[in-house]
Amino acid sequence: MNNFNTKLHTYYFQVVDLWSRLCEEHTKLFEATCAEYAELLENNINKLESLLKEKESIISQINFLDGLRTQIIKKIETETNQKVDSIGNLISLMTEFEEHNNQKHLWRFNQILIDIIEKIQAQNKKNQMFINKAALALQEIKDEVLGQKTYSTYTNRGLKKSKTTEKIVVEKT
């Protein structure tokens, strides 16, 4: 291998290690997101607060790793004089090492990362739906206590229009 390929080979292992670490951190984030849903169901606000802090820490680590990814890609672009603007380009550039090792580590880690991110997105949607339903239920309770009634209608474009009315309580004497 010439000097160019040796450097690229070194970058290959750095990228594979980085993708492995990204998979680990995203797995932690997925686990924390699932735990968040369980705590939402249990109505355990204290535990939920600590989980949110944990998620912030994990996201901070993912952002740090993403910064490293950007640095490595810039170095690879400088060494190869090729623009690497997608993971597909990066995998294509590293194909020689993927085939040489007959392992396809980068490709596999990328597939795992995509799968984990899709699972995180799906779980976040479940969490958000639960929060929205809870907020709606709380609003209905608040309106009932205040003696207000909210009616929802929809425009011809499907947009929601709400109107709140106050209940008038008549006391019998």
Above 70 in pLDDT, residue 6? yes
CB of 84 within 8 A of CB of 92? no
How far apart are alpha carbons 170 and 148 in whole angstroms? 15
Q: What is the mean pLDDT of residues 116-131?
A: 94
In this predicted structure, what is the pLDDT of residue 1?
Answer: 46
Above 80 in pLDDT, residue 21? yes
CB of 90 within 8 A of CB of 76? yes
In this predicted structure, what is the pLDDT of residue 168?
Answer: 52
Residue type, 45: I
How far apart are alpha carbons 25 and 113 in whole angstroms? 10
In this predicted structure, what is the pLDDT of residue 140?
Answer: 80
Above 80 in pLDDT, residue 160? no
Angle, nearest 10°, between helix axes 3-42 and 105-146? Answer: 30
End-to-end CA distance of the chain: 100
Q: How far is CA 142 from the centre of its chain?
A: 32
Q: Extract long-range pairs of 154-157: CB within 8 Å, 24+ residues apart.
A: none
Residue 18: Cβ within 10 Å count? 19
Write out pLDDT tens, residues 82-98.
899 898 889 888 887 77
Best CATH choice for the domain 3-133 from the list 1.10.3470, 1.10.490, 1.20.58, 2.40.50: 1.20.58
- Model-level pTM? 0.76
Above 60 in pLDDT, residue 169? no
What are the Cα distances from residue 70, in Å, to 8, 26, 108?
16, 18, 20
Domain residue ranges of the chain, discontinuous segments joined by +: 3-133
Rounded to 5°, the CA angle 11-59-126 comes to: 125
Above 70 in pLDDT, residue 167? no
Angle, nearest 10°, between helix axes 3-42 and 45-80? Answer: 170
How far apart are alpha carbons 73 and 54 in whole angstroms? 29
pLDDT band for position 108 (50/70/90)? very high
Indicate the SS3 state at residue 4.
Answer: helix
In this predicted structure, what is the pLDDT of residue 54?
Answer: 96
The single residue listed with the structure tokens 């249990």 is 42
Write out pLDDT tens, residues 56-70.
999 999 999 999 999
